[in-house]
């Protein structure tokens, strides 16, 4: 297969949603259809004992939530599918924001009963900003939920995007009879007793088939009426509007019981975009260019706790990545060679000889990489930085076991490189402060330090309002600011100055008094 064909058969996408909408369960069922796994796991279930493939960290299994993005690749219908399952919890939104820079499209999962929830809206804002094509999957139709037309209205209003249903449920909850795929005009009638395994539904190509009336009884006419209304209310599906992020195709189903998932996957591989051009600071980089380029969007320590490894996740943007080939690390200005690049199935890894645009490869890292680093075949350009957001919760981090100082320092260092949280060192006394977006991040850091590094930490309260990075063109004013605010000046992990303001008033006064200083609330790595 040629280079062009390899790119055009790739689909790299993220699954995003509010917590508990079912995105990890949907990931499991997509992997099941792709033959990547043989039994689908569940995030939380009394009946299904296998845990979700993408929730491979021990804390994820215990809490029943995703706390880190997982990458999974598999072949389906001649296409190479790369799924990135993201955390839904708002405390880990930064990991999800960074992941959205590495995908070409997105599937948004919405709970049929709860509708659009706050975190979904926030993530959708990022998709709109990046003009990422979006497909909506309305999940949990096996439970009683809102009327499908009401849910579609809510999506249009809350997510600020036009919608076009491409599948339709017949009944809901206990009355669910099946899914009509508007995209390929086929009705799938579900009658399996064992709903926890994938099943082949009975197909009806013709809505006027008398057997459909026998199977659905009164629901048959309801389906015809609903579809007539859909065709009357919503414009024809236009693939260009979808690719331009103006319209979101909508599918209905139940990830847990496999209703509508295969229909989603079949339609997705036909309409979703293959890898698109990436924006570098200097120019646009086309995936069909001959020369390799890519960037690091995530770093994960201890994917295999037995080997204490550290993996940099690289999204390939152009050319072919080849094993044992020298590539230019732009920030360090040096050549690096990778002997064992890996492809992923969550925490399981396999060595790859080559990879194409759209693929995600893992590179073993001994500390050479930061999030946002660019690799090329020699050309000097950098992909646009990945922002790190200003944290709003702060704690002093202290060593609770003096015998494990080395382990604690190494653990904190590696977890901060992952972007789990941010580390600030106070200029005044050298004390270390961890800044997070949410409370849960502190618990995850404490848990991982103990279980992955054997180090105990304890936290002390550090009351601060906000952290902001400082840029200055006026050295005299900057020195004056440092003298006056010496208690609140710190350096981040990369040695850049940060002002930790105690109150909103302090920040406001500093901004109005020191006009030549720039107070930045996002940092570009």
> Alpha-carbon distance 399 to 324, whole Å?
40
The number of CA neighbours under 13 Å toward the Cβ of 412 is 25
> Alpha-carbon distance 140 to 110, whole Å?
9
Residues of the chain with CATH 3.30.70.3280: 387-524
Looking at domain 278-376, does it have CATH number 3.40.190.10?
Answer: no
- For residue 396, report the phi and psi dihedrals to the nearest 5 degrees: -70, 140
The span from the first CA to the last CA of the chain, in angstroms, equals: 37
Mean pLDDT of residues grouped by 10 in the chain (525 residues)?
91 85 83 60 40 45 47 86 69 64 91 86 82 93 90 93 92 83 80 48 71 78 88 92 94 88 89 91 92 89 63 92 94 92 67 91 86 90 72 88 90 80 90 83 85 89 88 89 91 89 90 88 62
- Is residue 485 classed as helix, strand or coil in its secondary structure? coil
Q: Are 24 and 52 in contact (CB under 8 A)?
A: yes
> Alpha-carbon distance 380 to 123, whole Å?
32
> Alpha-carbon distance 170 to 207, whole Å?
13
Report if pTM > 0.85.
Answer: no
Res 151: pLDDT:
93
Residues of the chain with CATH 3.40.50.300: 3-70+86-96+105-271, 278-376
Res 282: pLDDT:
85
Secondary element (H or E) of residue 163: strand 162-165
Tokens of 466: 């906000």
- Is residue 261 classed as helix, strand or coil in its secondary structure? helix
Burial class (CB in 10 A: 0-12, 13-18, 19+), 450: middle
> Alpha-carbon distance 5 to 276, whole Å?
14
Res 64: pLDDT:
44
Q: What's the longest Cα–Cα distance across the chain?
A: 86
Tokens of 107: 């599937």
Q: List Cβ neighbours of 466 (8 Å cut-off, separation of 6 or more).
A: 390, 392, 500, 501, 504, 507, 521
Secondary element (H or E) of residue 413: helix 405-417
Res 53: pLDDT:
46
Res 35: pLDDT:
67
Domain 387-524, what fold? Alpha-Beta Plaits (3.30.70)
Looking at domain 3-70+86-96+105-271, does it have CATH number 3.40.50.300?
Answer: yes
Tokens of 239: 């693939």
Q: Which has the closest alpha carbon to 181: 259, 281, 97?
A: 259
Res 193: pLDDT:
52
Secondary element (H or E) of residue 399: strand 393-399
């Amino acid at each position: 297969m040629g280079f062009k064909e390899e790119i055009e058969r790739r689909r790299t996408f993220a699954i995003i949603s509010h917590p508990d909408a079912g995105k990890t369960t949907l990931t499991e069922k997509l992997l099941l259809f792709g033959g990547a796994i043989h039994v689908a796991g569940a995030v939380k279930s009394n009946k299904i004992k296998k845990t979700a493939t993408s929730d491979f960290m021990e804390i994820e299994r215990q809490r029943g939530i995703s706390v880190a993005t997982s990458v999974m690749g598999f072949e389906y219908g001649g296409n190479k599918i790369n799924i990135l399952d993201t955390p839904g919890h708002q405390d880990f939104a930064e990991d999800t924001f960074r992941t959205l820079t590495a995908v070409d499209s997105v599937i948004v999962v919405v709970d049929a009963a709860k509708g659009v929830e706050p975190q979904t809206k926030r993530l959708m804002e990022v998709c709109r900003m990046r003009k990422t094509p979006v497909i909506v999957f309305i999940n949990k139709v096996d439970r009683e939920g809102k009327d499908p037309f009401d849910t579609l209205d809510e999506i249009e209003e809350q997510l600020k995007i036009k919608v076009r249903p491409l599948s339709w449920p017949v009944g809901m909850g206990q009355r669910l009879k099946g899914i009509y795929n508007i995209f390929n005009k086929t009705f799938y009638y579900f009658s399996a007793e064992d709903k926890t395994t994938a099943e082949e539904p009975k197909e009806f190509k013709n809505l006027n088939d008398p057997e459909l009336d026998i199977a659905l009884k009164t629901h048959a006419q309801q389906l015809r009426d609903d579809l007539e209304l859909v065709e009357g209310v919503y414009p024809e599906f236009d693939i260009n509007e979808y690719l331009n992020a103006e319209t979101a195709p909508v599918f209905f189903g139940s990830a847990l019981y496999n209703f509508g998932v295969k229909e989603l996957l079949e339609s997705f591989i036909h309409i979703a975009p293959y890898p698109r051009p990436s924006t570098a600071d200097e120019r646009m980089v086309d995936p069909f260019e001959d020369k390799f380029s890519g960037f690091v969007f995530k770093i994960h320590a201890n994917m295999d706790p037995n080997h204490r490894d550290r993996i940099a996740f690289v999204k390939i943007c152009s050319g072919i990545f080849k094993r044992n080939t020298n590539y230019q690390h732009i920030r360090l200005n040096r050549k690096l060679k990778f002997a064992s690049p890996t492809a992923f199935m969550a925490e399981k890894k396999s060595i790859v000889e080559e990879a194409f645009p759209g693929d995600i490869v893992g590179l073993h890292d001994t500390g050479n990489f930061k999030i946002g680093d660019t690799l090329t075949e020699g050309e000097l350009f950098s992909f646009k930085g990945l922002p790190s957001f200003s944290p709003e919760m702060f704690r002093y981090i202290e060593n609770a076991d003096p015998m494990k100082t080395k382990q604690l320092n190494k653990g904190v260092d590696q977890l901060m490189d992952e972007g789990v949280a941010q580390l600030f060192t106070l200029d005044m006394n050298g004390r270390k402060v961890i800044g997070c977006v949410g409370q849960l991040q502190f618990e995850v850091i404490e848990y991982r330090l103990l279980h992955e590094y054997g180090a105990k930490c304890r936290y002390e309260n550090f009351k601060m309002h906000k952290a902001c990075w400082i840029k200055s063109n006026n050295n005299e004013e900057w020195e004056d600011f440092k003298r006056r605010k010496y208690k609140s000046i710190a350096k981040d992990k990369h040695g850049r100055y940060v002002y930790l303001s105690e109150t909103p008033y302090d920040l406001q006064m500093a901004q109005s008094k020191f006009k030549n200083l720039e107070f930045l609330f996002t940092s570009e790595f």
